[in-house]
Structure 1
Amino acid sequence: MSNARTTMTPPVYVSLPLAPPKPTEDCGVCMALAKQRAEAETKGDFSRVADCNIELRNHSHLRATDRKSV
């Protein structure tokens, strides 16, 4: 005898993505990452965009309020 399901599995709920982090304007590292992120986005390299966002979020001087999602 088989254990076939006769009902659908429940839907998968995925949260909204985080808002892109804002670079600090007087930080050279932040501005370089923001430039790299913009170039990657123009080229359609969204993996690199995500990498830049992670680096910006993990950059030590950002305030906790900059890390919140929308």
Structure 2
Amino acid sequence: MPDLTEAVYLSDPMSALEPVPNFSCDVCASLGRQREEARARQDMATVSDCNVEIRRHPHKERRTS
């Protein structure tokens, strides 16, 4: 039977790279500002919510041709 008394170390999900807002987009720029304000007041739930919204916010890809 395996020894279940050893400590388990989990990675910190907040250490993953955060999405970079597209500052030419008003929605992304606003979310980026909200995220930094939330981080300043240590409101990590709102930081996480802003990250999700930035990731999900659609942008049409520009075609170069």
Q: TM-score, normalised by structure 2?
A: 0.71
RMSD: 2.8
**1:2-41 Cα deviation digits (max 9, x unpaired):** xxx6722676564563311001121000000000000000
Aligned to 2:55: 57
Task: Flag the 1:49–1:42 CA change in 2: closer, same or farther, 3 A.
Answer: same
Aligned-pair identity (%): 41
Q: Which consecutive residues of structure 2, in runs of 5 or more, have no partner in the other structure?
A: none
Aligned to 2:39: 41
Give yes or no for contact 1:24–1:62 (8 Å, CA) kept in 2. Answer: no
From the CA coordinates, give the structure whose radius of gyration is larger.
1
Q: Which consecutive residues of structure 1, in runs of 5 or more, have no partner in the other structure?
A: 64-70
Aligned to 1:66: none
> How many Å apart are 1:60 and its aligned residue?
0.7
Q: TM-score, normalised by structure 1?
A: 0.67
